[in-house]
Amino acid sequence: MSNFQMKFEVRPDLLAAPSKRRSGLSMAPGVRFIVAHDTGMPRSTARGNVRHYQNTVNLKSASAHLFVDDREIIECIPALTGPPEKAWHVRYDVPQDDKLYGLDANDAAVGVEYCYGDNIDADRAYQRYVWVIALACHRFNLNPQGSVVGHWVLDPQRRTDPMTGLAASLRSYEQLLLDIVTEFEVCTGIAAPPPVTPPPPGTQQRVRLRANANIRRGQPARTAPIARSLPAGTEVTVTGLVSGERVNGIADWYSLTGNEFLWSGVTLGP
């Protein structure tokens, strides 16, 4: 694995464990994806949020791994500064994390919180936010194209983050995903792996699932009927590449025989 340019410091300020906010439970399946959040509280700083967690460590179970503002990147639950532990940053009863990655975010994803407000230099905070997410992708050998998802994608009925925080500085979620890939490439000196490689016309190839996945029938979309569900590690024969529903910034779907489709973002490629 290549080296990663350490532009900033990730400072550990860990919560007490075991507690409601930090159980101390290992992220047993390993880190499989990253969830981008914002705090939803303008003017709250990284230090202030961690301090609030410390003061309420046994009152609430909601938590996240990292808080980022224009001055600091603070880790309050181990992810980058120690063996990754579970944090409670996405509701268990929402289904999208399982559909996209085959696992619950609390069990297999690092949660990164973006701090924003008129007391925070948005450019400096954003630079740190993009960098630490790119670092997490590198540290856990994740492709930055497809391994980062906004909280709003997983819980659209209740959440808007990180779009709300980004909008405060006239930035967009779509730009965040692109900037993370660019930062990954800058800090590693290598291009991020392409998310898919289309099979040559008239041929077949095998791809491997990096998480549990649903094969869809009829159209390349999450609303299409499920033909079958396959566990992580399964090899699937694909016959082509088509454009379908955009999921986490990726609209490429593999076509299979029998008018079936597999979202490319859940594969490791040929």
Within a 13 Å sphere around the CA of 225, how many CA atoms are in the beta-carbon half? 4
Radius of gyration from C-alpha coordinates of the chain: 19
Residue type, 267: T
Fold match between domain 10-188 and domain 205-266? no
Domain 10-188 -> CATH class: alpha beta
Amino acid 1: pLDDT: 44
**pLDDT for residue 45 is more than 50:** yes
Amino acid 71: pLDDT: 98
Taking only the tens place, the pLDDT of each residue in 88-136 is 999 999 998 888 888 899 999 999 999 999 999 999 999 999 999 999 9
Amino acid 61: pLDDT: 92
**Helix segments in 140-190, DSSP class H:** 151-154, 163-167, 173-188
Angle at the Cα of 162 (from 110 to 157), degrees rounded to 5?
95
Its sign, for the CA torsion 191, 64, 70, 152, is positive
- Asked if CATH classification 1.10.3470 holds for the domain at 205-266, the reply, yes or no, is no
Lowest mean pLDDT among 71-85, 131-145, 240-254: 240-254
Say how far apart CA 226 and CA 268 lie, in whole Å. 21
> Can you tell me the mean pLDDT for 220-247?
87
- Helix (H/G/I), strand (E/B), else coil: 52: helix
Write down the pTM of the prediction. 0.75
> Where are the domains positioned within the chain?
10-188, 205-266
Amino acid 249: pLDDT: 61
Taking only the tens place, the pLDDT of each residue in 181-228 is 899 999 988 776 555 555 666 667 888 887 788 999 999 988 889 999
Amino acid 73: pLDDT: 98
**pLDDT for residue 34 is more than 90:** yes
Taking only the tens place, the pLDDT of each residue in 130-167 is 999 999 999 998 888 888 999 999 999 999 999 999 99
